[in-house]
Amino acid sequence: MRSFLKYDPATTLTKIKIPVLALNGEKDVQVSAQESLSGFKTLLTKAGNKNFKVIAMPGLNHLFQHAKTGLVSEYVTIEETISPEVLNIMKNWIKSL
């Protein structure tokens, strides 16, 4: 667990030259969508990567489920496994490669 907490993804992201799709749920209370996606944009641009897409998903939590609050305690009350919108975005992105 400590290595996970010490890991800095910036080191890796500044080296990535392959296509990247970064998604975050706007109701994610574990990872700030704005901070995360902004970081992806900055670091991938720094890497010279021009083939990336970052998308904030409105109304979705950390697990890409439609949520009211985004709180972890809400997870067990949500029947949806993953948002169909996310699956569609992923499918279309893969097809575009």
Dump pLDDT digits (tens) for 57-76.
Answer: 999 999 999 999 999 999 99
pLDDT of 60 reads 98
Contacts of 37 (CB under 8 A, 6+ apart): 22, 24, 54, 55, 56
Residues 5-28 have a mean pLDDT of 93
CATH 3.40.50.1820: does it fit domain 2-96? yes
pTM of the model: 0.89
Provide the percentage of residues in the chain whose pLDDT is more than 90: 90
Q: Which among 41, 60, 38 has a CA at the least distance from the CA of 49?
A: 41
